[in-house]
Structure 1
Amino acid sequence: MRTATLSRKTAETSIDVTVNLDGTGTYQVSTGIGFFDHMLEQLSRHSLIDLDVKTVGDLHIDQHHTVEDTGIAIGEAIAKALGDKRGIRRYGEAMSVMDETLTRVALDISGRPWLVWKTEFSQKRLGEMDTEMFEHFFHSFAQNAGITLHIETLYGSNNHHIAESAFKGLARALRTATEIDPRKADAIPSTKGTLGG
């Protein structure tokens, strides 16, 4: 099983994460931010990556450290579970529809982290979550998972749908990219022989 467990403790947050890339999409998520929990649950359910996340952060200050450090920890756990990335499909993409919203997500488990973010919100908060933190989560996640990640909302008006389509799109793209390709299960998917930069 391709699994990883890690703990990340700082003066600002305390985080415990476990991932199983070959799971069924079961989750236990608690970050102290209800809407963020809901998005991480969508990430797990639609990627089929089992995800346990327990974050205790300095929410009395703001959400920045909690969201950023959770993205870091989940990204690090996925990178650890992938190991040398032998046999993975590597690339994934999804057109994620939610009612009036359409978001395109494409990624490469390249070892060269990058985020292209072309998504906007018309309100500052969803539930109690600051919408500016979504981009920050995806950036922190991509940097620490070693993923080149492009997210673009092509159209949409409902802010909840825009956020959820981005997370579901990431989930579906991750599911494809992390799966083992039975035609090349023993090979690292790169002509360089390594995925790391």
Structure 2
Amino acid sequence: MSHPATPTPSSSASGRRGSINRRTSETDITVNLDLDSVSYPPPATGHGFFDHMLDALARHSRIGLTVQATGDLHIEPHHLIEDTGITLGQALAQALGDRKGIERYGSAFVPMDETLAHVVLDLSGRAHLAFEPETLDVWGTAGGMSHYHLREFLRGFCNHAGANLHVRVLAGREAHHVIEAIMKAFARALRDAVQVTSDGVASTKGSL
């Protein structure tokens, strides 16, 4: 299995952009993002519901995001979804560079009919995922994607973006609504956390 290159900080000349290709024996994924652009080209992963979620991520985070991916969907979507989270995390780390000036924290509640999701994000440089929906009795899947697949997407993102992410579902049991509400809440928390709001670093340590 091949390994992707380690992301490097972006320069001021190139703006806050990240571009990563991750290729393994299971998946081939390219993620391009621009934190200061608003563009939503359709994601293309070969998995319809996951594409729908990535489109929601781009639109609700208001981040320019392009995802092109292939994977071993004949087995199941786990590898594709997890590896896309890894690649997205690497691209975000590259785009953030030294993280100077970013708001760092973001939080969002998102309702979807009977479902209410809450996501809190800290772009601290340290990886942690608290995913409370795994303790719930969530019904079914959405296009073959379950909340457990979403957990692995977010875990891959956290590990490679250096992010601390807490996910709670306060109400809801149907997989489609649970997954979609979480993804939209994650997107809106991310939108706030990446905003440049100062000239300094949001840490008493002086660095993130």
TM-score (normalised: structure 1): 0.93
Deviation at 1:98, TM superposition (A): 1.2
2:128 is the alignment partner of 1:128: no
2:114 is the alignment partner of 1:100: yes
What is residue 189 of structure 1 aligned with on the other side? Answer: 202
C-alpha distance 103-130 of structure 1, shift in aligned 2 (>3 A): closer
Q: Percent identity among equivalent residues?
A: 46
2:201 is the alignment partner of 1:178: no
Determine the C-alpha separation between the residues in 2 that align with 1:8 and 1:166.
25
Deviation at 1:135, TM superposition (A): 0.9
What is residue 54 of structure 2 aligned with on the other side? Answer: 40
Gaps of 5+ in 1: none
Contact 1:7–1:16 (CA<8 Å) still a contact in 2?
A: yes
Which structure dedicates a bigger proportion of its chain to strand?
1
Determine the C-alpha separation between the residues in 1 that align with 2:117 and 2:147.
16
Deviation at 1:124, TM superposition (A): 3.7
Contact 1:102–1:165 (CA<8 Å) still a contact in 2?
A: yes
Q: Which runs of 4+ in 1 moved over 6 A?
A: none
Alignment of 1:63-142 (within 5 A): 63-119=77-133, 120=136, 122-142=138-158
SS in 1 for 2:38: coil
Contact 1:27–1:44 (CA<8 Å) still a contact in 2?
A: no
Alignment of 1:138-157 (within 5 A): 138-157=154-173
SS in 2 for 1:30: coil
2:75 is the alignment partner of 1:61: yes
Determine the C-alpha separation between the residues in 2 that align with 1:54 and 1:121.
32
Deviation at 1:27, TM superposition (A): 3.2
Deviation at 1:189, TM superposition (A): 1.2
Counterpart residue identity of residue 36, structure 2: D
What is the alpha-carbon root mean square deviation over aligned residues?
Answer: 1.3
Counterpart residue identity of residue 72, structure 1: I
Deviation at 1:25, TM superposition (A): 4.7
Determine the C-alpha separation between the residues in 2 that align with 1:72 and 1:155.
28
C-alpha distance 12-105 of structure 1, shift in aligned 2 (>3 A): same
Deviation at 1:129, TM superposition (A): 2.1
Deviation at 1:79, TM superposition (A): 0.8
Determine the C-alpha separation between the residues in 2 that align with 1:170 and 1:131.
14
Counterpart residue identity of residue 192, structure 1: K
C-alpha distance 25-95 of structure 1, shift in aligned 2 (>3 A): farther
Deviation at 1:73, TM superposition (A): 0.3
Comparing 132-141 and 87-96, the one that deviates more: 132-141
Counterpart residue identity of residue 66, structure 2: D
Gaps of 5+ in 2: 1-14
C-alpha distance 121-140 of structure 1, shift in aligned 2 (>3 A): farther
Deviation at 1:132, TM superposition (A): 2.2
